[in-house]
Amino acid sequence: MWTNAWKALDAIRIGDVLRQKHNELSGILTTSVVSGLSTSEISFKDHDVRCVNRNVLLEILENELPRGTIRYSSKVVHVQDAGFFKSIHLSDGTILKSKVLIGCDGMHSNVAKFLGFSKPAFLSRSAIRGFIDFKDGHGFEPKFFQFFGKGVRYGVIPCDDNSVYWFFTFSPSPQDKDIEEDPVRMKQFVLSKLGKVSENIRVVFENTNLNNMLCSPLRFRHPWELLWGNISKDNV
């Protein structure tokens, strides 16, 4: 999360609580997986940049809100126009009536569908994401470690003194089409593509539990659709 996100969290008075649980990153260090050498290092300077654990963020938000405000496993499946109010149908069968609806329901947003947006486009790249917790500490500096080369790009980012988030992006070949359904193959694939990296980086991927890995295709919305499209409709 970058400085602008922290300004929003400070406005609702949970920024400092989150900062205490996540280390501030000093900069980004980029390394080639071909040579194993660092190619650049950029300081974040005055920017407040931290890798935030989503579960921790949700727990803190939930503690600050009335009980029952946040609903889990109940995504929006349909938005029905009911005059001034909008009927929001959730996957758990609940129907809510809202005066104002702000769509933040992800890439496959049903709110975006209600507003008339087209389906997101595929980037021809996929991303594998993982998370690992080192009981005795990971030993990394508070930096965003980025690696690139041979058609892949990946990163290792410490969240606090023990937990580390990582991502790995690549262009899938026809042979890789089923990789997201097989965590064992997924992990083997990542390990085979790491290239020349230090042992402490490799250990992050080797020791990540299969249940803590997820693969999904990368998609995006064309910027002109957001610039020229209708991003609001009445109170949505």
Residue 161: the pLDDT is 97
Strand order in the sheet with 76-82: 76-82, 85-90, 95-98
Picking from 188, 139, 182, the residue whose alpha carbon sits closest to that of residue 164 is: 139
- pLDDT, one tens digit per residue, over 138-183 is 999 999 999 999 999 999 999 999 999 999 999 988 877 778 889 9
Residue 137: the pLDDT is 96
C-alpha–C-alpha distance, residues 9 and 64, integer Å: 12
Considering only 39-43, 47-51, 94-98, 145-149, which range has the smallest mean pLDDT? 94-98
- pLDDT, one tens digit per residue, over 212-227 is 999 998 888 878 877 7
DSSP label at 142?
Answer: S
For the chain, give every domain's residue range. Answer: 3-55+121-219, 71-117+222-236
Picking from 25, 19, 90, the residue whose alpha carbon sits closest to that of residue 60 is: 19
- pLDDT, one tens digit per residue, over 50-75 is 999 999 999 999 988 888 888 888 88
**Architecture of the domain defined by 3-55+121-219:** 2-Layer Sandwich (3.30)
Residue 26: the pLDDT is 97
Averaged pLDDT of the chain: 91
